[in-house]
Amino acid sequence: MTIPPHTHSDRPNSASSAGHGDAALAALIRALADLRADMLHQESVVSARADSLHADHRLGASNLLHYLALRSRDLRPLQERLMAMGLSSLGRSEAHALATVEAVLGVLRRLAGETLTEPPSARPDFEEAARLLASHAESLLGPPRPNRAVRILVTMPSSAAEDPSLAQVLLESGMDCARINCAHDDAASWQRTIDNIRRAEQRTGRRCRVLMDLAGPKLRTGPIEPGPAVVKIRPQRDALGRVERKARVWAVDAANPRPAPEPCDAVLPLEAEGLALLARGDVLEFVDARGAERRLETAESRADGAWLEASSTCYLVPGLEVRRRGADGRRRAFGRVGALPAREGAIVLARGDRLLLMRSQEPGRGAGNASASPARVGCTLPAALERVRVGEPVWLDDGRIGCVVRSVEPDHAELEVTHARAAGEKLRGDKGINLPQTDVRLPALTEKDCEDLEFVARHADAVLLSFVHEPEDVAELQRRLRELGHGDLGIVLKIETRRAFERLPRLLRAAMSSRACGVMIARGDLAVECGFERMAEVQEEILWLCEAAHVPAIWATQVLESLAQDGRASRAEVTDAAMGERAECVMLNKGPHVAEAVQALNDILQRMEGHQHKKSAVLRRLRLAADGCDAT
């Protein structure tokens, strides 16, 4: 759309300004008029493409262009001059950029003595902008609660498919939307989870939007050779090394293994016919894998196994011979340790080590001779290595291990470890690989995503698009949804890579072809891609652009993580959760204490909404201020 021209010339009459003896005022008017002209010009350049936008988003698209024009220059000197006059510094112009500039320009012209016959004509105006963002948030995320405008999105665990009560507990605690991650489980499990959510809606009278997250092209480390098959048994000791609690071991017949009837420190399969004949007080003796003489005391013998206790740390491997000493003190042959599961493989990497990132899926392994046989590991998407270049950074396992590319060969890229703890880091299989400076050109929708999309389109209220990089990725998702007869399904762009962040204005415009759309700030991968030191400003910029486009934003990754996992939040996590008030939705990940996390987040958001909206302080009455006045 094209905004009607201002009722006055964009260039104020310099003689008129000078007549008021205020050169500074005239300079401010010129600066604001130039700014307004640039904003209108930016809109006119791309106005021809407005037809591709959904009608509900055309004002938002225009305002986004205005805001980008506004932020394309350094406004700090102008802001200081405006603040010195007691005027708006344009610092809260995101949702109504042109209207803000025109309002300040109008005040300046009045101060200069100009006669204004008509009000500014910019759309959206202040009230309309707030209404549009609220309306778009409701279209995507559902209506807000009466006492809280910011929604709470919860990632549903796999157990939600089997536990009908979980969805009800979460809804009663404050959940507004449920996220189902298509990277886990299957359609049958997703269906049971959704059925449980719908039944919980009926029981509680509360609505819940279901958002389904497509897995996307996961760039991860390949399998790693398994470690040794060994069971470590260790008692609990105090600070002086004295045994506080003996290790509890469930011994079971290796030919007919039974799960432990209650929690234990280890399960030990034994190839012994006389296992059921063990009596309380019998001792099993052996020389462990380190050559140390060790013993396990029989605490209880049962038909399906026996409970043993250990007072010393021991390592047992398959085939290790075990002897029994009974109450009479005589030692007798008893049996051998049966088959044990191999430990999960890992590669230990320290600074300066070399690592070959392989195209093949051959199991990775650690270094042999460091100079001739470096460590190696495959990657799940070999095509990603085609565009890797020497000197580019590579981050592994959520940024725990940092590397730089030293050479690129047909079958691998050779990396040098540059960031790791002094003691080294363990790299395991199926860990994330980030290539923040590599132009990886992989489609956002994989073959599995397209299969999953058929279920998602029928059952979800919105779909989350992972690893989106280009507007074409968004267009392809929209095309497939139309083919499935669900072109009106809401879409959420997950901004989790540096490339997605740098293309955010174009991605937003592509998403605004859909009736309902939003953005998730996936801060975990984004922090690795952009650098942890930049994460604070990156998430701010995403929030600003979403507000400028009147598109709801979802604040995600590790919100109240310690509370959800361990039952206790850190001070930093509470502050981070409070910052999420500036988004339209905050996401919690699954965990044993997720219901407690939902309750805590509900309370935090309600309190913060009384003090702040977006970047603006809300000046509700402060009891502290009133008490301070009384005291003085």
Q: Give the pLDDT band (50/70/90) at residue 610.
A: confident
Average per-residue pLDDT for the chain: 90
Give yes or no on whether 142-217+443-617 and 347-434 have one common fold: no
pLDDT at 115: 77
Measured CA to CA, the distance from residue 124 to residue 121 in angstroms comes to 9
Is residue 89 within 8 Å of residue 103, measured between CB atoms? no
pLDDT at 441: 84
Tokens of 247: 């290790």
Residue 417 pairs in a beta bridge with: 403
Measured CA to CA, the distance from residue 120 to residue 107 in angstroms comes to 11
pLDDT at 2: 37
Strands 412-419 and 401-409: antiparallel
% of the chain at pLDDT higher than 90:
80
Task: List, in sequence order, the alpha helices (H) in 49-205.
Answer: 58-70, 76-84, 97-111, 126-141, 164-173, 187-204
pLDDT at 63: 95
Q: Is omega for the bond preceding 124 within 30 degrees of 0, making it cis?
A: yes
Q: Give the pLDDT band (50/70/90) at residue 400.
A: very high
- State the average pLDDT over residues 48-54: 76
User: Is residue 164 pLDDT above 60, yes or no?
Assistant: yes
User: Is residue 109 pLDDT above 50, yes or no?
Assistant: yes
User: In the CATH scheme, what is the code of domain 142-217+443-617?
Assistant: 3.20.20.60
- Interaxial angle between packed helices 58-70 and 126-141, expressed in degrees from 0 to 180 and rounded to the nearest 10: 120
| Burial status of residue 25 (CB atoms within 10 A of its CB: 0-12, 13-18, 19 or more) | buried
Is residue 256 within 8 Å of residue 223, measured between CB atoms? no
Measured CA to CA, the distance from residue 140 to residue 488 in angstroms comes to 11
Tokens of 201: 């809606």
Spatial CB neighbours of 388, under 8 Å, sequence gap ≥ 6: 394, 405, 408, 413, 435, 438
* Domain ranges for the chain: 14-124, 142-217+443-617, 231-337, 347-434
For the domain made up of 347-434, the CATH class stated in words is mainly beta
- Architecture in CATH for domain 231-337: Beta Barrel (2.40)
Q: What is the pTM of this model?
A: 0.84
Is residue 546 within 8 Å of residue 519, measured between CB atoms? yes
Out of 112-126, 261-275, 457-471, 555-569, pick the least confident. 112-126
User: Is residue 16 pLDDT above 70, yes or no?
Assistant: no
User: Is residue 14 pLDDT above 50, yes or no?
Assistant: no
Is residue 292 within 8 Å of residue 302, measured between CB atoms? no
Please give the single-letter amino acid code of residue 111.
L
Is residue 165 within 8 Å of residue 434, measured between CB atoms? no
pLDDT tens-digit readout, 75-100: 999 999 999 989 999 999 999 999 99
Please give the single-letter amino acid code of residue 242.
R
pLDDT tens-digit readout, 253-273: 998 888 899 999 999 999 877
pLDDT at 15: 39
pLDDT at 615: 79
User: Is residue 1 pLDDT above 60, yes or no?
Assistant: no
User: Is residue 155 pLDDT above 70, yes or no?
Assistant: yes
User: Is residue 623 pLDDT above 90, yes or no?
Assistant: no
259 to 190, 300, 471: CA distances (angstroms)? 28, 16, 52
User: Is residue 20 pLDDT above 80, yes or no?
Assistant: no
